[in-house]
Structure 1
């Protein structure tokens, strides 16, 4: 638990870690602070965008959707490894999540991964106040590759935050580890990412593991068809709840807009179609 870094401090921390930073417009003052608290900060969440094209992705995460104002994260990590800073302060990236996961991340008390979440956006605690958020450009279908330069940048960004706050790598989680209705990031293992962040923290910020950039390890698939049906159902219900206050929802939580859920619904439908096609082929 810590006070959020200032914009100047996070910029210095990222550059010390040799992160290639792109400052987008008025990112230092672009935020949703008028909608609720930002801080104390307990950790950092990694996401995938379900988009393609760097320019279009930067625009989306900075400006948001018609039903969900931006910024949707603090920085977007592109395929080429550049980190586009789009906002600083409260952003609409984490939504509701599991309180026991928050406790485990705050205390850094879990094993290889936090307890699987049982709360999500509609009934969880406010994650926008408590986490840094990093969107990573990827379709999130389990097939879109994670270039080595991008994965290396993800590791460096998370290490920079942990180093600045004197956190361990256990302060870094994926959105799927925070919220029961999320599946991102898909395509690499958060357990392995934390291991790589931990290794980096053993060395000075300027450390480089070699002349070549490490290749991200392939993730062991964890999402089943049942998981995808559950996520699809939850996102459909969430659209119906837009504009209402769900029972038990903490005050100050900003709901995601329809565009956000529709993007994830499209992704889940694609995955379900692939499951059906695979079953037909086996038959």
Structure 2
């Protein structure tokens, strides 16, 4: 654990790593510390995201309804470069798996994220990378390289290795960002840390992300959630990862309001929304009861591009 870098030291570390840094007006005092009553830090690592959109720097600075900004500490555009948007607590990580945080703290291999029982906003720096995140939107070489330098700069400043870096999809069940391979990304940071900051690369650095990988939804576990959660106590969670991914897909297609998504519980509203999806596919009667089947779930994953299905 470490004390967060001051605004001045953050800026100096990034520039020393060879980055051109743009400063958004007000970034040095833009944070959620006072509003939440929770001070940022100690810090244990850095978290990588994609924005799932384009031209969203100001959105990440201001925030959106129900989620005030800043939504990250830094935003990295496709062609606009690196922008500092906040300093202090930011709304980027949300509820994450405590086991994963402990692994980042100890710089050990990351376990599977199957819980959301800790606040990642307390202890993680966040970078949002401008990208649709659909596996078809490329990350320009220069943009990916800048992301590597951003992560390396913070790790170097704190004396961390690349093992203090995670993707959002590795810490919070149901998340899919960033849409590139994090092991490849960490390997690139490791190479950067082996050099002097700002020094030219002596060996090629991988700047092109590998093929995007999609999370998997276990059909049998999701069916169990759909049958168990509606009648369970409020807040009961049977299968958080699969439920969150399914709800995200239903939201994307307009079958579920986003206010009912993301809590990990496959409740009655989700069952009703899934039944609408089944009817859209032509099912009726008991075949459109809101309990996922392999064909309907597979088509939901294919249509939205959010996940694949395992039986």
TM range (shorter): 0.7 to 0.9
The residue aligned with 1:119 is: 115
Equivalent in 144, 157, 161 of residue 164 of structure 1 = 157
| TM alignment of 1:260-279, pairs within 5 A | 272-273=302-303
Residues 184-207 of structure 1: CA deviation (Å, up to 9, x unaligned)? 001x21001001101110110012
The 3 A distance-change label for structure 1 pair 246 and 22 is: same
Which segment is superposed worse, 97-106 or 76-85?
76-85
User: How many residues were matched structurally?
Assistant: 244
Which segment is superposed worse, 75-84 or 230-239?
230-239
The residue aligned with 1:96 is: 95
SS class of match (1:204): coil
Alpha-carbon RMSD = 2.9
SS class of match (2:125): strand
Q: Aligned partners of 1:176 and 1:275: how far apart in 2?
A: 15
Q: Which runs of 5+ in 1 are unaligned?
A: 248-268, 279-283
The residue aligned with 1:259 is: none
The 3 A distance-change label for structure 1 pair 237 and 131 is: farther
Q: Is residue 29–residue 88 contact of structure 1 (8 Å, CA) maintained in 2?
A: yes
Residues 74-98 of structure 1: CA deviation (Å, up to 9, x unaligned)? 0001112611111100000000100
Q: Report the alpha carbon displacement of residue 181 of structure 1 after superposing the two structures with TM.
A: 1.9
Q: Report the alpha carbon displacement of residue 225 of structure 1 after superposing the two structures with TM.
A: 6.0
Q: Report the alpha carbon displacement of residue 116 of structure 1 after superposing the two structures with TM.
A: 1.3
| TM alignment of 1:173-184, pairs within 5 A | 173-184=166-177
| TM alignment of 1:164-243, pairs within 5 A | 164-186=157-179, 188-209=180-201, 214-219=206-211, 221-224=213-216, 230-233=244-247, 239-240=259-260
Which segment is superposed worse, 76-85 or 172-181?
76-85
Q: Aligned partners of 1:16 and 1:61: how far apart in 2?
A: 25
TM-score normalized with structure 1 length: 0.78
SS class of match (2:4): coil
SS class of match (1:196): helix
The 3 A distance-change label for structure 1 pair 230 and 91 is: closer
The residue aligned with 1:262 is: none
Higher RCO (C-alpha under 8 Å, 6+ residues apart): 1
| TM alignment of 1:62-73, pairs within 5 A | 62-73=61-72
Task: State the 4+ residue runs in structure 1 displaced beyond 3 angstroms.
Answer: 210-215, 224-230, 234-238, 269-272
TM-score normalized with structure 2 length: 0.71
